[in-house]
Amino acid sequence: MTTELLSVNNLVTTFRTADGEIPAVRNISFSVNKSETLCIVGESGCGKSITSLSIMGLLPSNGSIKSGSINFEGTDLTKLNSEELRKIRGNKISMIFQEPMTALNPVLTIGFQIREPLMIHQKLSKQQANQQGIELLKQVGIPYPEKRMNQYPHELSGGMRQRVMIAISLACTPGLLIADEPTTALDVTIQSQILDLIQDLKDQLGMGVVMVTHDMGVVAEIADKVMVMYAGEKIEEGPVEEIFNNPSHPYTRGLLNSVPNVDDPDFELEAIPGSTPSLNEHISGCRFHPRCLHATERCKAETPNEFILGNGHTVKCWLSEEDKNDTY
């Protein structure tokens, strides 16, 4: 039996600019269950990180949630004020940011940054928080944790800083962990260790995980469910096996064909032509049609419906219509 932890419904996130209001996330819906990993994938600029920042309530000053709801454990986060959000953020919902060197405060010790959420949210004393911080550093595999508590971020390697970020995010045993490209700029060995660590902690704590990534190899390793985004829209979603074995959107197939396959000597990489459109670029019909080799006149004129393929697999593509008999 699955228990729904997070439910995002018809989310629209916009930014105020000199050229007017620009939509960055366009009417997307998805859910995450306890002990489930959802991977959000797509090229840079497709809205993955903005989606995660919308959930956290950490949008830039010119960004706002225009419409839709974000329900976490039965509470609509979009209805909460700043103080109410602060009690949840870092406590029940935590985030691992993309670059640990900029996410960690360079003038504060590792110990201070780990103790802070424990003292604020868990009401621990400084001594109790310090001991808990040492245990957290041990849990994420950092050697000599007592020594690390007194060090500054620049004194640690990239992999160790990322482990510190994970320790901070797990300090209050959150129900939901959001990881935004947590292995970017890490070497392959450290990347594998970080992913294994997140998986192990998810299983131990029963967390839901939202992983933002562009790396389909990472997706294959850790995902239970995959949501593919393009130009601010959700274009395909389903269990990881369905997405990899039966990709239905041309963009999803393009992402998979751009990943090297060392097991197939005849495999040839295929690049997706063109580039991701800017947020304020007006495109009629399907937003992917200018780059799609299979686009029809209908694709250029009409926004596609979301078609149900079965087994939790959905896709927004007119090319799928003839094989489907039901839509949202």
pLDDT in tens, 102-140: 789 999 999 999 999 999 999 999 999 999 999 999 988
> Would you state the pLDDT for residue 285?
93
> Would you state the pLDDT for residue 126?
94
Q: 154, 171, 188 — which closes off a domain?
A: 171
Q: Is the pTM of this model over 0.75?
A: yes
One-letter amino acid for residue 84 of the chain = E
In-domain check, residue 192: yes
In-domain check, residue 308: no
CB atoms within 10 A of CB 260: 10
Same domain, 110 and 60: no
Same domain, 198 and 257: yes
Same domain, 76 and 217: yes
The alpha carbon torsion through 165, 168, 170, 176 (nearest 10 deg) reads: -70
pLDDT at 48 over 70: yes
Q: 245, 272, 299 — which closes off a domain?
A: 272
> Would you state the pLDDT for residue 327?
44
Backbone angles phi, psi at 34, to 5 degrees: -60, 140
Q: 147, 171, 195 — which closes off a domain?
A: 171
By 3-state DSSP, what share of the chain in percent is helix, strand and coil, each rounded to 5?
Answer: 35, 25, 40
Residue with tokens 């400084």: 126
In-domain check, residue 316: no
Specify the CATH number for the domain of residue 214.
Answer: 3.40.50.300
Backbone angles phi, psi at 243, to 5 degrees: -65, -40
H or E segment and range at residue 17: strand 4-17
Measured between its terminal Cα atoms, the distance across the chain in Å is: 24
In-domain check, residue 210: yes
Encode pLDDT of 208-259 as tens digits. 999 999 888 889 889 999 999 999 999 999 999 999 999 999 999 999 988 7
Collapsing DSSP to helix, strand or coil, 237 comes out as: strand
> Would you state the pLDDT for residue 124?
93
Same domain, 72 and 20: yes
Collapsing DSSP to helix, strand or coil, 64 comes out as: strand
For residues 249 and 236, the answer to whether their CB atoms sit within 8 Å is yes
- Domain membership of residue 77 as a residue range: 4-92+173-272
Q: How far apart are CA 184 and CA 182, in angstroms?
A: 6
Residue 32: both structure tokens together: 């995450």
> Would you state the pLDDT for residue 39?
97
- The number of domains in the chain is 2
